[in-house]
Amino acid sequence: MSIRTPQQSAHPSTDEPSVGEFASASGDLLDRLRERSPLVQSITNAVVTNFTANVLLAIGAAPAMTDIPTEAGPFARIASGVLLNLGTPQAEQREAMVEAATAANEAGTPWVLDPVAVGFLPVRTALAAELLALRPTIVRGNASEIIALAGLGAGGRGVDSTDSVDSAIEAATAIARTSGAVVAISGPTDVITDGERIVRCSNGHAWLTLVTGGGCALGAVLAAFASLDDDRLLTTVAATTAYTVAAQLAAAESRGPGSFAPAFLDHLHVLDADTVRSLAVIV
């Protein structure tokens, strides 16, 4: 299928992607990302900064970890996309996140909210609510995080989900409809919704959960893809598909999470559109 440009309608009444077209468009968007090398500002947690930057470089984007006040806002205005990850929200970084989200909205820069471990931890939970009110482009989290963000649960066990993906669909739909964001629930099968459409992506491998930053780095990739087209459900599906296809290929030649992590970066780097189209499992 042809990919709509940002000047065209995001949700036309007569040209919604079919399941097969999502796979085809995922390959097309990967090619477009490689051509444009979008600049992604990642205000993310200290544990995953290096891995996130390497993932962006491997897939063909340009990382920038600009996360201090007075710089975060101006940079969000020139970035292609922004990630706000609440994994280690120190005071200065919290201020930078609000500044970046506000500036991104003013500049029309797509931004991703990753509400890491929200629910029972008061500082990040309050920050997540403040950022959600600023209307992110995309929200990405595990099932427990999405349920907690919607005010329907207390969160998981730290960064680990204690809820199933299917149990979070109601919460994800509610967030999407009230905030205008596309919501991506990560799990064995990733579920993505814009409040009306629901898409399931079933590639990937469990070793992603055993590599520090395996989930967090996906948020940065979502931001990179979001800069490529105004149908953010489409870009979120494409980013998730490319990311998880690379993980699937890396796992096939790895012995465990230690060898998987570098193999994953290698496969992100060499991934091509035809491979994405042929291996994508989207329903």
Binding residues for ATP, as ranges, are 140, 186
Q: Give the annotated binding-site residues.
A: 65, 140, 186, 213
CA distance 197 to 66: 34
* DSSP alpha helix (H) spans, the chain: 19-36, 49-59, 72-78, 91-107, 122-133, 143-149, 169-179, 216-226, 232-252, 257-270, 273-279
The tokens for 105 are: 């909205």
The tokens for 18 are: 């079919």
φ and ψ of 169, to 5 deg:
-65, -40
| Cβ 227 vs Cβ 234: under 8 Å | no
Q: Give the annotated binding-site residues for substrate.
A: 65, 213
Contacts of 50 (CB under 8 A, 6+ apart): none
Per residue, the 3-state secondary structure of 108-148, as one string, reads CCCEEEECCCCCCCHHHHHHHHHHHHCCCCEEEEEHHHHHH
Residue 178: count other Cβ atoms within 10 Å of its Cβ. 13
